[in-house]
């Protein structure tokens, strides 16, 4: 399977499949494709997996596209302006992603629900208790709003982040929520009451424009506001 990410602000993902290769996405995720690709929509994994995907921001049903000939082409587009991030996952390696980040993946990749065990991070982390977990082997693609900043944290190294800017992180990274200190910071800082504290080791991916920030700006500009 070969792929090419095209564009800068409104990107698209062009995937070329040979006979026997397959890629799956949420229902309605495909933009266009050539002949020679078979489309099959299913629950993919049974009722448990379906409910887990729904809780993590994806559709109950997934669609698998299987190539019946060599050199077929299929294109996927994101739901909002931003970047498409490819993740080449070895067998057993996982990535934790924000709700609704999943775009598409090779048929061998497992998409599942990830449940935050810490009460504070679930209540105040900006994305709730349920996230997405992608596990290899295989190539997966996620969509991130705005531009992407990637950091590799060393053991014990900490990074404080507004929760809405956290897009992806490796499971080795410890994720917790801490309340902002200082009455003046809370009342007049404009950054909310809580910050996410990420502790290494592991990689994290941050997004420059969380969708709720974009939605708030668009909503403020609507007539009648």
CATH number for the domain spanning 213: value is 3.60.160.10
Say what the pLDDT of residue 156 is.
Answer: 97
pLDDT along the chain (225 residues), means of 10: 92 96 87 96 66 56 93 93 95 92 94 65 47 94 94 97 90 84 44 78 93 57 62
Q: Would you say residue 225 lies in a domain?
A: no
Q: How many domains does the chain have?
A: 1
Say what the pLDDT of residue 62 is.
Answer: 86
| Lookup: tokens for 180 | 């902002």
Q: Would you say residue 101 lies in a domain?
A: yes
Say what the pLDDT of residue 71 is.
Answer: 96
Q: Would you say residue 210 lies in a domain?
A: yes
Q: What is the pTM of this model?
A: 0.81
Closest CA to 160 of 130, 143, 185, 132: 185
Closest CA to 166 of 116, 99, 118, 115: 99
Give the integer Cα–Cα distance in Å for 37 and 132: 27
**Domain extent for 24:** 2-220
Angle among Cα 129, 49, 105 to the nearest 5 degrees reads: 95
């Amino acid at each position: 399977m070969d792929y090419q990410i095209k564009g800068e602000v409104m990107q698209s993902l062009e995937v070329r499949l040979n006979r026997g290769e397959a890629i799956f996405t949420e229902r309605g995720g495909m933009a266009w494709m050539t002949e020679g690709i078979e489309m099959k929509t299913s629950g993919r994994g049974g009722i448990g997996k379906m409910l887990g995907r729904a809780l993590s921001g994806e559709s109950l049903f997934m669609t698998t596209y299987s190539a019946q000939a060599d050199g077929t082409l299929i294109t996927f587009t994101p739901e909002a302006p931003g970047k498409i991030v490819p993740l080449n996952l070895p067998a057993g390696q996982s990535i934790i992603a924000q709700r609704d980040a999943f775009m598409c993946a090779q048929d061998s990749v497992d998409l599942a629900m990830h449940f935050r065990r810490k009460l504070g991070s679930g209540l105040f982390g900006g994305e709730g208790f349920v996230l997405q977990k992608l596990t290899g082997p295989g190539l997966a693609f996620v969509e991130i709003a705005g531009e992407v900043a990637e950091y590799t944290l060393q053991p014990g190294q900490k990074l404080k982040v507004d929760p809405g800017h956290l897009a992806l992180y490796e499971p080795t990274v410890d994720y917790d929520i801490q309340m902002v200190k200082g009455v003046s910071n809370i009342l007049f800082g404009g950054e909310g009451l809580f910050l996410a504290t990420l502790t290494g080791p592991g990689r994290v991916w941050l997004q420059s424009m969380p969708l709720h920030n974009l939605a708030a700006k668009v909503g403020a500009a609507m007539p009648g506001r």
